[in-house]
Homo-oligomer: A and B are copies of this chain.
Amino acid sequence: MPGGDDPIGDLVALLSRLPGIGERTATRLAHHVLASDPDYARALGSSLGSIHERVVRCATCANFCAGPRCAICRDERRDGKLLCVVARVPDLTAIEKSGSFRGRYHVLHGLLAPLDGVGPEQLPLDALVARVRESEIREVVVATPLSVEGEATALYLAQVLRANDVRVSRIASGIPHGGELEYADQVTVGRAFEGRREL
A19 and B48 contact, Cβ closer than 8 Å, known pairs A27-B90, A55-B7: no
Q: Output the residue of A20, A32, A49, A64 with the most chain B CB within 10 A.
A: A49
Give A contacts to B, CB under 8 Å: 1-8, 10-11, 14-15, 17-21, 25, 27-35, 38, 40-55, 64, 66, 88-90, 93, 109
Q: Output the residue of A34, A52, A109 with the most chain B CB within 10 A.
A: A52
| Inter-chain contact A90/B40, CB cutoff 8 Å | no
Chain A contact residues: helix, strand, loop or mixed: helix
CB-contact partner of A51 in B8, B53, B88, B90, under 8 A: B8
| Inter-chain contact A29/B38, CB cutoff 8 Å | no
A35 → B minimal CB distance (Å): 8
List residues of chain B with CB within 8 A of the CB of A34. Answer: 51-52, 55, 64
Q: Which B residue's beta carbon lies closest to that of A30?
A: B51
Oligomeric state, in number of copies?
2
| Inter-chain contact A49/B55, CB cutoff 8 Å | no
| Inter-chain contact A32/B19, CB cutoff 8 Å | yes
A87 → B minimal CB distance (Å): 11
A48 and B7 contact, Cβ closer than 8 Å, known pairs A17-B40, A19-B28, A89-B31: no
A86 → B minimal CB distance (Å): 13
| Inter-chain contact A2/B41, CB cutoff 8 Å | no
Q: List 21 A-B contacts (CB under 8 A).
A: A1-B43, A2-B46, A2-B54, A3-B54, A5-B66, A6-B66, A7-B66, A14-B40, A17-B44, A20-B28, A21-B29, A28-B90, A31-B90, A34-B51, A34-B55, A41-B49, A41-B52, A45-B45, A45-B47, A45-B50, A49-B49
